[in-house]
Amino acid sequence: MLLMEQKILAEGKVLPGNILKVGSFLNQSIDTGFLREIGKEIAGLYDGCGVTKILTIEASGIAIAVAAGMELGVNVVFAKKHKSSNVDGQIYSSVVHSYSYNTDYHIVVSQDYLRPEDHVLLVDDFLANGKALEGLMDLVSQAGAHLVGVATAIEKGFQGGGDGLRARGVRVESLAIIESMGDGTITFRRQ
Amino acid sequence: MLLMEQKILAEGKVLPGNILKVGSFLNQSIDTGFLREIGKEIAGLYDGCGVTKILTIEASGIAIAVAAGMELGVNVVFAKKHKSSNVDGQIYSSVVHSYSYNTDYHIVVSQDYLRPEDHVLLVDDFLANGKALEGLMDLVSQAGAHLVGVATAIEKGFQGGGDGLRARGVRVESLAIIESMGDGTITFRRQ
């Protein structure tokens, strides 16, 4: 998605530690016109693939998931993050390691909202090492649902998570894939 | 909004402790078609009021804020929740007391994303005692921005937060106001 690459180049900030800050349009501050375009792009990629539900993780995945869900005409479910596994009710849960914070956290979704008959598209804002998506895939598997694929706004290709999932046969679509970044330059993978 | 009242009656669950569970369409699981209607309704209420930005709190406010922002054609900023005030950077922060969890938490927004020239609409899913909205109002005040009003999906009228804000001259619009609930019955305030 050329528009995503242009937006990253215009407004993204590369910080030490391979951090790309896109808070001005994608996290914390959300450009709703641009978000609508993201939703249409994701919907176009997965149009006709039988998606019945979108699954994401709170908080920064919600906006993109909602935009895609509106365009695909399907509902969105977001997994909640918890520090402990001590959550009441009938739930699916998985453990995700965060490299950013060097800690584990639990992601949790009610069994009411993820069903065996669901064909699930995973949506998130960033794809780096892919640990969060692997956690979501675990929830889909626990529910006995069908995984259609993954859609992310920005993939850090150099961290390998996306290609690891592709090597396992998972369809992964990222609107922009960053091959390398640093010293104020960002290089995208040609798709 | 008759549609909101009907949805609450059809899918909402009243739990002990004055808790209304709407996870099947508004939190955790989001009915995107219904969400779009919510966005249109909020946009209709504040059409022509000069709103330049929507401010909400992660996580469950994001979906509604995005839906309203898309319809009003303005960007959305969400305040982040932190357990401590130890947050780097140039930020506005405020302390909010959560009665649900009997604890205080900090809400934080970057000074980059809330500017003195902004005319801000606060959006959230629930309005009960109003403490979260008061925190957001504090952030707007710190930024020197102008508060246009508040829009919430569901107000628990019997907890008084909404009427307290109205008594202070704040415009508060809730798509459904619950006057009382319990024993499986929900009574709405006529608007």
Q: Chain A residues with CB inside 8 Å of B83's CB?
A: none
Q: Indicate the residue of B32, B58, B59 with minimum beta-carbon distance to A70.
A: B32
- Choose from B37, B38, B75, B87 for mutation: most chain A CBs within 10 A: B75
A6-15: burial string, b at 16+ Cβ within 10 Å, e else? ebbeebbebe
pLDDT (0 to 100) of residue A102: 86
Q: CB count, 10 Å around CB of B48?
A: 6
Which of B25, B28, B71, B87 has the highest number of chain A CBs within 10 A, making it the mutation to test binding with A? B28
Per-residue pLDDT of chain A (191 residues; tens, 9 = 90+): 889 999 999 999 888 877 888 888 888 899 999 999 999 999 999 999 999 999 999 999 999 999 999 999 999 999 999 876 655 679 999 999 988 778 899 999 999 999 999 999 999 999 999 999 999 999 999 999 999 999 999 999 999 999 999 999 999 999 999 999 987 789 999 98
| pLDDT value of position A61 | 94
Cβ density class B18-46: b for 16+ within 10 Å, e for less: eebebbbbbbbbbbbebbbbbbbbbbebb
Residues in chain B: 191
CA distance A150 to chain B (A): 19
Closest B-chain CA to A23: B113
Tokens found for residue B98: 């959560």
Question: B53 - beta bridge partners?
Answer: B75, B120
> What are the backbone dihedrals phi and psi of residue A154, each rounded to the nearest 5 degrees, phi first?
-135, 120
Residue of B24, B30, B60 to mutate when probing chain A, most A C-beta within 10 A:
B30
Which helix (H) or strand (E) segment holds residue B63: the answer is helix B62-72
The Cα–Cα gap between B122 and B120 comes to 6
Which of chain A's residues have a Cβ under 8 Å away from the Cβ of B31? 75
Q: Which residues of B touch A (CB under 8 A)?
A: 23-24, 28-33, 35-36, 58-59, 62-63, 66-67, 69-70, 73-78, 80, 109-110, 112-113
Provide the pLDDT for residue A100: 75
Q: DSSP 3-state assignment of A23?
A: coil
Taking residue B110's Cβ as centre, other Cβ atoms within 10 Å add up to 18
Burial of A173 (0-12, 13-18, 19+ CB in 10 A): buried
CA distances from A129 to A117, A132, A155, A159, B52 (A): 29, 8, 9, 5, 36
Instruction: Give the pLDDT confidence of B63-93 residue by residue, as tens digits.
Output: 999 999 999 999 999 999 987 665 567 999 9
pTM over 0.90: yes
Q: Considering only CB atoms, which residues of chain A are within 8 Å of chain B?
A: 23-24, 28-33, 35-36, 58-59, 62-63, 66-67, 69-70, 73-78, 80, 109-110, 112-113
